[in-house]
Amino acid sequence: DTEVTQTPKHLVMGMTNKKSLKCEQHMGHRAMYWYKQKAKKPPELMFVYSYEKLSINESVPSRFSPECPNSSLLNLHLHALQPEDSALYLCASSRQGGGYGYTFGSGTRLTVV
């Protein structure tokens, strides 16, 4: 299995809602990532989990909260988002060290209304 699976594929939420994005991989990768991608822009790194520990946390607003329950699963909890948070959220995984390239999921298209 060489895939990273993300659910849901599309999500519309209000600014007062709480929702979660889910990501799963079964490639034995020990590093997992959340990226945010706006239209016609490159992906931007939000969070990195290495061996289920949050190793870096870019200056992302606290309304985004990552969670890594085990080595195969990654969640992104969303609360009180703003319309400008609307974007494609990509999950990725890699072998430890990142010297092997990232495998991306197909993403969740999020719209905040």
Partner 1 sequence: QQPVQSPQAVILREGEDAVINCSSSKALYSVHWYRQKHGEAPVFLMILLKGGEQKGHEKISASFNEKKQQSSLYLTASQLSYSGTYFCGTPFLNNYGQNFVFGPGTRLSVLP
Contacts with partner 1 by CB under 8 A lie at 40-45, 48, 55-58, 90, 98-107
> Closest CB to partner 1 among 37 and 72?
37
> Closest CB to partner 1 among 17 and 103?
103
Shortest distance, position 17 Cβ to partner 1, whole Å: 25
Contacts with 6 (C-beta within 8 Å, 6 or more apart), sequence order: 21, 22, 23, 24, 89, 90, 91, 105, 106, 107, 108
Shortest distance, position 46 Cβ to partner 1, whole Å: 11
C-alpha radius of gyration, the chain, whole number:
13
Query: What is d(CA 7, CA 27) in angstroms, rounded to the nearest whole number?
Result: 18
> Closest CB to partner 1 among 17 and 65?
65
> Closest CB to partner 1 among 64 and 102?
102
SS3 64: strand
Query: What is d(CA 100, CA 66) in angstroms, rounded to the nearest whole number?
Result: 23
Shortest distance, position 5 Cβ to partner 1, whole Å: 11
Shortest distance, position 16 Cβ to partner 1, whole Å: 29
